[in-house]
């Protein structure tokens, strides 16, 4: 009987999350998708699809309980948040961005890590952003939340370094996904102008990196942040 790996991908209904689900399925994983809304049509790449609000810890715990064994966690759920000068950002908009992008990542990691520690094997990949390293103007909440995801990844990676669980993050530049359709065109123009390759990235390119980070071949890397930015990253 084939020894399947079980992967749980949040934000799996579209964009990077969906691309990761498809790639991990192609790699032979049984993929459980998680999103706040279940898509009308669930693709064959999913062994199961669960609805959960990642900002709600009870939802996350229930999703993991319903999913069963989880060997690989990809935290891709996220929002851009308020697109305006930081002094105009409301309390509610700030908290919503932090709750989904940062607390949602924390909630899912905490929900799966117990079973991973028992089995002494796991892969956790958190989708951060180049904005978390460099900051994007008029996206203060988003940039701050993604910087926090990078810091969270580094901290937890060190905590689990001897437990057989590798925890890494990815910092994409602007990627061609539905999440960016609501971004101010001037902000998108600014971000693309900073990319030496002069183009946006594709979700499948991010998924290819996730595939390696989730694999047995990745064995001596944890607490790291991998850039996939078309040359934009400066550190």
Percent pLDDT > 90 in the chain is: 83
Residue 1 is assigned to a structural domain of this protein: no
* Active-site residue, from 4, 142, 190, 235: 142
What per-residue confidence (pLDDT) applies to 91? 98
On whether the CB atoms of residues 118 and 163 are closer than 8 A, the answer is no
On whether the CB atoms of residues 195 and 173 are closer than 8 A, the answer is yes
Give the chain's domain count.
Answer: 1
What per-residue confidence (pLDDT) applies to 180? 73
Mean pLDDT across the chain: 94
What does each C-alpha distance from 235 to 164, 196, 227 come to in angstroms? 28, 15, 9
What is the tens place of the pLDDT at every residue in 140-177?
999 999 999 999 999 999 999 999 999 999 999 989 88
What per-residue confidence (pLDDT) applies to 190? 81
DSSP letter for each residue of 12-53: TTSHHHHHHHHHHHHTT-EEEEEESS--SS--TTEEEEEE--
Residue 85 is assigned to a structural domain of this protein: yes
pLDDT at 1 over 50: no
On whether the CB atoms of residues 86 and 19 are closer than 8 A, the answer is no
Nearest to 15 by CA among 223, 235, 218, 182: 182
Residue 233 is assigned to a structural domain of this protein: no
Active site residue 142: yes
Q: Which residues of 47-69 are buried (b: 16+ CB within 10 A; e: fewer)?
A: bebbebbbbbbebbbebbeebee
What is the tens place of the pLDDT at every residue in 17-34?
999 999 999 999 999 999
What is the tens place of the pLDDT at every residue in 123-139?
999 999 999 999 999 99
What is the tens place of the pLDDT at every residue in 176-226?
887 777 677 877 788 889 899 989 899 999 999 999 999 999 999 999 999
Q: What is the CATH number of the domain that holds 40?
A: 3.40.50.720
Torsion of CA 100, 103, 108, 110, to 10 degrees: 180
- Residue 233 pLDDT class (50, 70, 90 cuts): confident
Per the structure, the complete domain to which residue 208 belongs is given by: 6-228
Residue 37 is assigned to a structural domain of this protein: yes
Residue 234 is assigned to a structural domain of this protein: no
- Residue 2 pLDDT class (50, 70, 90 cuts): low
Distance CA 78, CA 96 (A): 10
What per-residue confidence (pLDDT) applies to 102? 98
Element (H, E) at 158: helix 140-159
What per-residue confidence (pLDDT) applies to 8? 98
**Burial of 84: CB neighbours in 10 Å, binned 0-12, 13-18, 19+:** middle
Residue 235 is assigned to a structural domain of this protein: no
């Amino acid at each position: 009987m084939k020894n399947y790996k079980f992967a749980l991908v949040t934000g799996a209904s579209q964009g990077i999350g969906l691309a990761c689900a498809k790639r991990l399925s192609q790699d032979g994983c049984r993929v459980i998708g998680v999103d706040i809304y279940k898509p009308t049509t669930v693709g064959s790449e999913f062994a199961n699809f669960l609805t959960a609000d990642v900002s709600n810890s009870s939802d996350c715990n229930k999703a993991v309980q319903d999913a069963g064994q989880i060997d690989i966690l990809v935290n891709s759920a996220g929002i851009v948040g308020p697109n305006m000068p930081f002094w105009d950002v409301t309390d509610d908009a700030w908290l919503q961005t932090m709750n989904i992008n940062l607390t949602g990542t924390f909630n899912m990691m905490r929900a799966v890590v117990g079973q991973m520690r028992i089995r002494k094997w796991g892969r956790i990949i958190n989708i951060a952003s180049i904005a978390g390293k460099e900051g994007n103007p008029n996206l203060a909440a988003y940039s701050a939340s993604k910087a926090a995801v990078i810091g969270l990844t580094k901290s937890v990676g060190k905590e689990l370094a001897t437990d057989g669980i590798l925890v890494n993050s990815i910092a994409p530049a602007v990627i061609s996904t539905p999440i960016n359709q609501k971004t101010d065109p001037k902000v998108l123009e600014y971000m693309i102008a900073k990319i030496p390759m002069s183009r946006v990235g594709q979700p499948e390119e991010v998924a290819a990196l996730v595939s390696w980070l989730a694999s047995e071949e990745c064995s001596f890397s944890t607490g790291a942040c991998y850039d996939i930015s078309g040359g934009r990253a400066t550190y």
